[in-house]
Structure 1
Amino acid sequence: MHVLDYDGYLLDLDGTVYRGNEVIPEAVTFINWLIKEQKKFLFVTNNSSKTPKQAVDKLNSMSIPAKREHIFTSALMAAYHVQQLADRPKSAYIIGSTGLKVALEEVGIIEQDVDPDVVIVGIDRTFTYDKLEKASLAIQEGAKLIATNGDKMIPTERGSCQETARLLLQLKLQAEHKQKLLANRTQDSLSKLCLYFIRPLVVR
C-alpha cells in the first residue's frame, strides 16, 4: 500500500511537525493535503508538557489547522493508565509540567508530595534535586512509579535536549527494590488507544 493510500494517520509532533518553535514546512503541506482529502488524523506526542489546548494553540500559531479532538498526548495516556490500575490510585507526586498535572487533575488524581499512591514522571524543565528526593522517598515508602515515556532526547530548534529517560534511571533504582516498575507501560497501549480515538475523526 502506498503511504498516501491509508484512511487515517497518526502524526508525531516533536521533530515531525515542528522542532521547538520552528515549524517543518513539509509537515504543513502534508497536513493541508490530509484535510483536503478528508483523511482522518491524530497528533500523537510523547511530550507531556502541554495540555491539548496549548498544543492546539501552538499548531494554530504555525498555520496548522488543529482542534482539541486532534490531540493525544502521553499525559492523557498516563491519566488513562492510572484509571485502569486495579488499586485505583487517588494521589500522586508529579514530576512534570502543566500538561501532565492538568490531565491527572481531570481524572480526579490529587497532587501531593507526602505519602502519594504513585509517582508519575514526565518531562520537567524545572526539575530539581528536591523533586528527585521527594520522589525517591515516596517510592521507598511503596508508591508505584509511572512514566509518561522513556525517551532519551527531544528534538528542538537548538538541537536534541534531554527528555524523561535520564531522570527515570535515577528513580528506577529505587523502584526495582520495592515493586515492579510501571514506567513505560503506558506506551504499550498508546497506539491502540490512538486508533480508537481516530476512528470518528474526519476534518471537513
Structure 2
Amino acid sequence: METNDIFEQMACRYDTEDRVNTAKIIVQAVRSELADTKEKTALDYGCGTGLVGLGLIDIFISMLFVDSSPQMIEQVKRKIENGHIESASTLCCDFSVEVPRTLQVDYVIMSQVLLHITDCHLILTKLFDILKKDGHLIIVDFDKNESIISDKVHNGFEQKELIRLVKQVGFASAGAHTFYSGQRIFMNQDASLFILNAKK
C-alpha cells in the first residue's frame, strides 16, 4: 500500500466532520481571546492533525505544531506542504519527557489535550517555562462531567480548580468561561467546552 494511501486513511479517521466542526468553534473562541498577535510566535501543543492551529496560523508570525504521535505530525506536515505554509513547522515531542532547551514562544495553545495528561501540574510547569515574559497559555477543554467514568482520561475540569492550578504553577493571572455545549461530544456524552487564558 502506498504511504499516501495510509495517510489518506488516517486523515479520514481523524478529521471526521464532527471534529472539523468542533475545531472551527474552538478556533473562533481562541481568536476572541487574542489581540495584537501578528508579531507573536505560537505553539500548538498536542496538535493532533493540526485542525485548531491551522485555523489560527494567519494571526501569528509563526506556529510550531507539537505532538508525541509521529502519525499525527506526518498529517500536519502534509497539510503544511499542501497549503505551502511557510510560517509553520512541526516537532514530534512529549514535553513531559523532554523539552528543547532553547524553545521560547509568546503563546501556547492546548486544545482538548489536558484531559489526556495524567500529571497536569508537570505539563503546565513545562509550558510555563517555554513562554516568554507576558506570554499566554490558552487551554480549551471539557467542563467537569460526573457522568463520565474513565481510567484513560480526566472527566473534564472545574474551571476554578484549573485557574488555581495555573496560578500555583506561576501564572500571574487567569480567567475562564464556557463557550460551547454540544450533544455527545465527550465520550458519547453531552458536554460543554471552556476556554482558559492564563498570562505569565
- TM normalised by structure 1 equals 0.41
Q: Which is greater in Rg?
A: 1
Structure with more of its chain in helix, by fraction: 1
Structure with more of its chain in strand, by fraction: 2
Q: Which has the higher contact order (CA 8 A, sep 6+)?
A: 1
- TM normalised by structure 2 equals 0.42
